[in-house]
Amino acid sequence: MNPSARGKLPSGLLLFMMACSGPHLFAAGVAIFNVRDYGATGVKADDARPAIQKAIDACAAAGGGEVYLPPGEYTSGTLKLRSHVRFYIEAGATLYGSQDPRDFGGAPSVSQAALFFGEGAEDITLEGRGTVNGQGEYEMLTDDNSSSPNYTIRTGRSILESMGKPPVRFFPKGYPHRTIYPHLVYLGHCKDVRITGLSFLRSASWTVALYACERVVVDGVYIYTDPHQAIWADGIDLDGCRDVRISNSSIETGDDCIIFISTTNWGPALPCENITVTNCRLHSASAGIKFSEGNSNVIRKITVDNCVITQTNRGIVFAIITGGLISDVIISNIVMDLNRYELRFWAGGAQPFFFRIARQSEWNQEPRKAGEPGPGAIRNVVLRDMIIHAQGASPIDGHPESWIDGLSIENIKLFLTTDPAAPYDLTTFAIRCRWAKNLKLKGIEIHWDKPALNKWQTALELENVQGVDLDDFTGRQAWPDQDFPAVAFDNVADATIRNSRAPEGTGIFLKVGGKQSGDIRLFGNDLRKAKVPYLVAPEAIAARVTAERNLLPAP
């Protein structure tokens, strides 16, 4: 039934129309295809796929309309979506994915297998207030790393082994003999897509996977997989998609919440562009927002705004290992509360920001391979207006052959703490940036919170950076009685530090090293609470540092 018409019909007429066979025309002129009329029983143990597919096909043959799933429980394998079909799952209705992998055939590859499958369709909708449940199940197995280098959890594996513990983690039930781990939704080359209102639970792999789709709206959905078990079960993956809006949604996953990527997995690597994410709540054992390392073309023109990221292992990730480009990105108005997960699950250490450009061989810690792409590029990224509570550092690493260009980090309050019960914490700095140029850092506050970690050292580290504007910075080293500075420059040139403040307890404010360092200017800073000397540098480098109109500590 069309929800807009449902409330306008007398209840007796409504029941009569639902009981009739074939499509029904409501006042709005929309043909309704009730799956019960095609043989679906609403009993979970029954195979509803033939009946539901008949309803979809009949709706498409009629030129379009609504396939209606009334309250009840339905179990199905792959459903092939058609153009001009609106699939409506009523409140009280649950569509379960079959637990038999043989029920998910018909896709061009096993990686495209899905409960809802669409290829080349247009004007398709999945909506309602009901539930889609993939019934994904997991079991803990030894990770023998035999199939591929498991670089995403290499650190955790190494630490586990050093502690004498077996390298075990969760895998989908049936791994590695099972070959199909279906998505709940896979759409390829589809246009004018709407996914709204539904709850998507317990997918066996990426929950919503879209390739080469255009004009997509995802609004008001809830996506859930067990954060402690659901390996591979990303929330929403956009591969080579354009003109996409994701809004007003909650995503809790065992893998990344939202991914932007451009791969050759399902066809040519296409630009992933013109995308907005707004008003979402994200929770992940991996990354909240991820610009994925498999980018082979370009990810650009992306905005993420007004989101909350909690109980997540990495807040925002920019990674490239296959030679692609990330550019023209703004991420703003974000609140993060990040924590580490157990070693045997995921990469990361509760980092707010994680940037890395690398060759794939470098990422996998292998010898360079002939013909592999060179390092990719990251350009013109803005991160601003955030309050962050985190248990890990923020490494921002370009590549010696491809420096990050035009990164701005503005108006950030960062509170760093640790978890005394965690088996490891490798944090020494709050924020580090290497191999970058045209770097703007404004309005950044670093707070060392409690519980504290005795390994902490420096608030801000810059290494191999050309062109820095550090404005309105507040922060100190973690432990004033040590020789670590608040700000460390190593081979940093053409840098200005202005309008910044050394808070109570600051030791050395700035330490400069590296033969390439020079043309460093300190202007209008309040350094009265730093100790003497506030600046430490070799004599030759100190001669290339100028200071003017600063409030300095008393001698």
- At 530 the pLDDT is 96
Question: For the chain, first and last CA: distance in Å?
Answer: 81
Q: How far is CA 521 from CA 186, 463, 513, 535, in A?
A: 54, 17, 15, 12
Res 285 pLDDT > 50: yes
- At 164 the pLDDT is 79
pLDDT, one tens digit per residue, over 156-166 is 677 777 777 77
Least confident of 117-131, 170-184, 278-292: 170-184
Taking only Cα atoms into account, the Rg of the chain, rounded to an integer number of angstroms, comes to 27
Q: Report angle CA 520, 485, 339 to the nearest 5 degrees.
A: 115
> In angstroms, how far is CA 291 from the centroid of its own chain?
7
Res 349 pLDDT > 90: no
Res 344 pLDDT > 60: no
Of 259, 418, 393, 286, nearest to 341 by C-alpha is 286
- At 426 the pLDDT is 86
- At 5 the pLDDT is 39
Res 234 pLDDT > 90: yes
Q: Longest Cα pair distance anywhere in the chain, in angstroms? A: 92
Q: Which residue has the higher pLDDT, 254 or 23?
A: 254
Res 6 pLDDT > 80: no
- At 141 the pLDDT is 83
Please name the amino acid found at residue 542. A
Q: Determine the Cα–Cα distance for residues 225 and 207; give it in Å rounded to an integer.
A: 9
Res 20 pLDDT > 80: no
- At 170 the pLDDT is 84
Segment 88-106 mean pLDDT: 96
pLDDT, one tens digit per residue, over 118-155 is 999 999 999 999 999 999 998 888 776 544 445 556 66
- At 160 the pLDDT is 73
Q: How does 485-510 read in b/e, with b if 16+ C-beta sit within 10 Å?
A: bbbbbbbbbebbbbbbbbeebbbbbb
Segment 234-240 mean pLDDT: 98
- At 7 the pLDDT is 34
Res 114 pLDDT > 60: yes
pLDDT, one tens digit per residue, over 391-434 is 999 999 999 999 999 999 999 999 999 998 887 788 999 999 99
pLDDT over 90, % of the chain: 79
Res 10 pLDDT > 60: no
- At 2 the pLDDT is 40
Res 1 pLDDT > 90: no
* Residue 222 DSSP SS3: strand
Residue that the structure tokens 């940037």 belong to = 355
Domain map of the chain by residue range?
417-555
Of 329, 249, 245, nearest to 282 by C-alpha is 249
Average pLDDT of every residue of the chain: 91
Of 458, 468, 526, nearest to 488 by C-alpha is 458
- At 480 the pLDDT is 84
Q: Determine the Cα–Cα distance for residues 218 and 553; give it in Å rounded to an integer.
A: 55
Please name the amino acid found at residue 282. L
Res 23 pLDDT > 70: no
Q: Which residue has the higher pLDDT, 17 or 65?
A: 65
pLDDT, one tens digit per residue, over 189-227 is 999 999 999 999 999 999 999 999 999 999 999 999 999
CA within 13 Å, CB half, 97: 30
What residue spans of 112-162 are helical by DSSP H?
154-162
Of 8, 62, 70, 53, nearest to 30 by C-alpha is 62
Helical (H) or strand (E) element with 485 = none
pLDDT band at 169 (very low <50, low <70, confident <90, very high): confident
Q: How does 1-23 read in b/e, with b if 16+ C-beta sit within 10 Å?
A: bbeebeeebeeeebeeeeeeeeb
